[in-house]
């Protein structure tokens, strides 16, 4: 009996431990089923890393300096749109300026009508007394007013004020610089303020006749209008140009030395001179080798009053000779 009782008591002693082991096994199995192994949860970390790497790479590539500079290097305007410039000879402006006396108040404009380049200008907008050079804008206005009245060039040879026809008055004014003819034509043109209105419509606003005043730019506008036939019908324009080309005994003076020095050149001009106050001036359209220039030069003694009529005239002629030699150098005969 003691042996049987001993065995039962030992069984009873280990039974709770046995039950605890069974319960722990069941609990461990349940936890394993709910939570997958660690080796399986590492996969999302591996797949997310490449995504971050690609994002950084795109940002870097869109902001790289190489991308912003390379279009400028590959599409250079100097390589694709600008041809290599051709170096051509230019008129030596310093040479022309060296011929001008320093004690003279100069008004000068030299313009290439083929290129539109202003080569030299001195006080182009300053108002001064142009003497008889002002008669060219007046001649333009007289011809235009007659044209607006329906008159032809033939009509102008038969009618006119002061007992003389318009053609005779224009020839006397432009070729001979006759003051009586100028006054008759001015009086005609000033009627109903036509002279003033005509000049303003041509962008010649600073030219007046009482007193006689103008600017280099105004005179240049008139000459350029003749050259390009901007103001008059062809027949009247050519008529005025022919009057300016007529040679008189004094046409070899001042800028008239240019065609005498430059073979084949023509100079359609109008001089202007006065002795009280002293003014020596010349201007016109100089044509040579298929090119045309506006040349305007006028000098009066400066405030020191040391220059004379003769010294100003000599300086203008030196300017003319220098210009002729420069054109001969650039356009050899």
Identity of the highest mean pLDDT range in 53-57, 122-126, 245-249: 122-126
Shared domain check, 171 and 63: no
Angstrom distances, CA of residue 320 to CA of 122, 165, 252, 262, 327: 16, 36, 11, 10, 11
> What confidence score (pLDDT) does residue 3 get?
43
Shared domain check, 101 and 28: no
Shared domain check, 97 and 75: no
Angstrom distances, CA of residue 175 to CA of 133, 136, 140, 233: 12, 11, 14, 21
Shared domain check, 107 and 193: yes
The residue among 25, 59, 80 that closes a domain is 80
pLDDT tens per residue across span 53-77: 333 333 333 333 333 333 333 333 3
pLDDT tens per residue across span 212-226: 999 999 999 999 999
| CA–CA gap between residue 320 and residue 317 (Å, rounded) | 5
Please state which of the ranges 10-24, 221-235, 261-275, 277-291 shows the lowest mean pLDDT: 10-24
Shared domain check, 201 and 63: no
Q: How confident is the model at residue 14 (pLDDT cuts 50, 70, 90)?
A: low
Shared domain check, 124 and 52: no
| CA–CA gap between residue 187 and residue 149 (Å, rounded) | 16
Show the domain range for 52.
2-80
Largest Cα–Cα separation, the chain = 181
Structure tokens that stand for 7 in this block: 């065995």
Provide the number of structural domains found in the chain: 2
pLDDT tens per residue across span 85-111: 333 589 999 999 999 999 999 999 999
The residue among 56, 80, 104 that closes a domain is 80
The mean predicted confidence, pLDDT, of the chain is 82
First to last CA, the chain: 157
For the cut 80, the answer to whether the pLDDT of residue 21 exceeds it is no
Is 12 part of a structural domain of the chain? yes
Q: What is the DSSP letter of 265?
A: -
Do the Cβ atoms of 316 and 299 come closer than 8 Å? yes
Shared domain check, 232 and 152: yes
Q: How confident is the model at residue 24 (pLDDT cuts 50, 70, 90)?
A: low
| Number of helices followed by number of strands (H, E) in the chain | 15, 7
pLDDT tens per residue across span 153-184: 999 999 999 899 999 999 999 999 999 999 99
Buried b vs exposed e over 299-332: b needs ≥16 C-beta within 10 Å? bbbeeeeebebebbbebbbbbbbbbbebbbeeee
Shared domain check, 36 and 104: no
Shared domain check, 37 and 157: no
Is 87 part of a structural domain of the chain? no
Shared domain check, 105 and 73: no
| CA–CA gap between residue 44 and residue 9 (Å, rounded) | 56
Q: How confident is the model at residue 333 (pLDDT cuts 50, 70, 90)?
A: confident
Is 88 part of a structural domain of the chain? no
| CA–CA gap between residue 244 and residue 216 (Å, rounded) | 18
């Amino acid at each position: 009996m003691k042996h049987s009782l001993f065995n039962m008591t030992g069984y009873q002693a280990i039974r709770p431990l046995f039950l605890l082991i069974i319960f722990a096994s069941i609990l461990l199995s349940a936890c394993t089923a709910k939570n997958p192994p660690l080796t399986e949860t590492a996969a999302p970390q591996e797949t997310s890393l490449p995504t971050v790497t690609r994002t950084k790479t795109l940002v870097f590539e869109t902001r790289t300096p190489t991308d912003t500079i390379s279009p400028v290097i590959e599409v250079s305007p100097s390589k694709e749109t600008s041809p290599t410039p051709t170096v051509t000879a230019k008129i030596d402006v310093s040479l022309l300026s060296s011929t001008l006396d320093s004690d003279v108040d100069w008004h000068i404009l030299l313009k290439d009508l083929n290129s539109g380049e202003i080569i030299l200008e001195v006080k182009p907008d300053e108002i001064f007394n142009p003497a008889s050079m002002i008669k060219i804008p007046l001649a333009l206005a007289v011809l235009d007013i007659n044209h607006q009245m329906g008159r032809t060039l033939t009509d102008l040879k038969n009618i006119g004020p002061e007992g003389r026809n318009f053609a005779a008055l224009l020839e006397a004014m432009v070729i001979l610089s006759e003051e009586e003819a100028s006054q008759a034509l001015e009086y005609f043109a000033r009627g109903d303020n036509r002279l003033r209105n005509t000049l303003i419509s041509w962008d010649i606003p600073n030219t007046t006749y009482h007193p006689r005043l103008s600017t280099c730019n105004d005179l240049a506008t008139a000459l350029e209008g003749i050259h390009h036939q901007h103001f008059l019908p062809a027949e009247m324009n050519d008529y005025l140009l022919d009057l300016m080309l007529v040679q008189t005994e004094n046409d070899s003076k001042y800028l008239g030395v240019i065609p005498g020095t430059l073979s084949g050149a023509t100079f359609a001009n109008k001089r202007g001179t006065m002795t009280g106050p002293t003014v020596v001036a010349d201007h016109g359209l100089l044509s040579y080798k298929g090119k045309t220039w506006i040349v305007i030069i006028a000098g009066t003694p400066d405030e020191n009053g040391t220059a004379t009529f003769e010294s100003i005239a000599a300086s203008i002629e030196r300017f003319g000779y220098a210009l002729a030699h420069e054109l001969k150098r650039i356009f050899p005969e």
